[in-house]
Chain A
Amino acid sequence: MAQMLTPQEAAEAMFNMVKEATGLRKLKPMDLTKNLLEAYGDRVDKQICKEAIKELVDSGRCVYTYFGGTYLELPHREGAAND
Chain B
Amino acid sequence: MADEFPKTPLLDELEKGAWPSFVSEIKMAAKRNAASRDLLGLLERSYREKIGHWKHGGIVGVLGYGGGVIGRYCDVPEEFPNVSHFHTIRVNQPSGWYYSTSALRKICDIWERHGSGLTNMHGSTGDIILLGTRTDELEPTFSELTEVGFDLGGSGSDVRTPSCCLGKSRCEWACYDTMALTYDLTKSFQDELHRPAFPYKFKFKMSGCPNDCVASVARADISIIGTWRDDIRIDHDAVMEYAEKGLDIQKHVVNFCPGKCMEWTGKKLTIDNSTCRHCMHCLNLMPKALRPGKDQGAVVLIGSKAPIIEGALLSSVLIPFWNPQPPYSDLKDLVGRIWDLWCEEGKNRERIGEFIQRVGMGNFLEMIGVEPIAEMVAHPRENPYVFYEEYLVEDDGEEEEGQN
Contacts and interface: CB of A to CB of B under 8 A. Distances in A.
Answer whether A and B touch in the complex at a CB cut-off of 8 Å. yes
A4 B183 CA distance: 36
A69 B350 CA distance: 10
Interface in B164-203: 191, 195-200
Contacts of A54: 64, 195
Contacts, number: 86
B155 interface: yes
Given A53-B195, A54-B64, A70-B66, A78 B200 contact: no
Interface string B27-48: 0000000000000000000000
Contacts of B56: 67, 80
Nearest to A63: B59
A40 interface: no
Contacts of B58: 65-67, 78, 80
B61 A64 contact: yes
Contacts of B74: 82
Interface string A17-35: 0000000000011100100
B373 interface: no
B349 interface: yes
A64 B65 contact: yes
Given A50-B197, A78-B71, A80-B56, A63 B61 contact: yes
Nearest to B72: A80
A35 to B, nearest CB: 14
B55 interface: yes
- Chain A interface residue number, banded: 20 to 34
Contacts of B59: 63-66, 73, 75-76, 78, 81
A68 B197 contact: no
B156 A82 contact: no
B57 interface: yes
B156 A30 contact: no
Contacts of B64: 54, 57-58
B63 interface: yes
Nearest to A75: B59
B119 interface: no
Contacts of A38: none
A50 B66 CA distance: 13
Given A30-B197, A80-B71, A64 B156 contact: yes
A54 B349 CA distance: 22
B158 A81 contact: no
A60 B197 contact: no
Interface in A43-73: 50, 53-54, 57-58, 60, 63-70, 73
A78 B157 contact: no
A81 B66 CA distance: 18
Contact of B156 (A57, A63, A69, A73): A69
Contact of A68 (B60, B135, B349): B349
B73 interface: yes
A60 B65 CA distance: 11
A64 B85 contact: no
B237 to A, nearest CB: 58
A76 B191 CA distance: 24
B140 interface: no
Interface of B: 55-61, 63-67, 71, 73-74, 77, 84-85, 135, 155-158, 191, 195-200, 343, 348-349
* A-B CB proximity, top 7 nearest: A64-B66, A70-B196, A80-B55, A70-B156, A70-B157, A82-B77, A82-B84
Given A60-B63, A66-B59, 16 more contacts: A29-B196, A29-B197, A30-B198, A30-B199, A30-B343, A50-B191, A66-B155, A66-B156, A68-B348, A70-B197, A78-B60, A80-B55, A80-B56, A81-B59, A81-B73, A83-B77
18 contacts: A30-B198, A53-B197, A54-B195, A58-B64, A60-B63, A64-B196, A66-B66, A66-B196, A67-B56, A69-B156, A69-B157, A70-B67, A70-B196, A78-B57, A80-B56, A81-B57, A81-B135, A82-B84
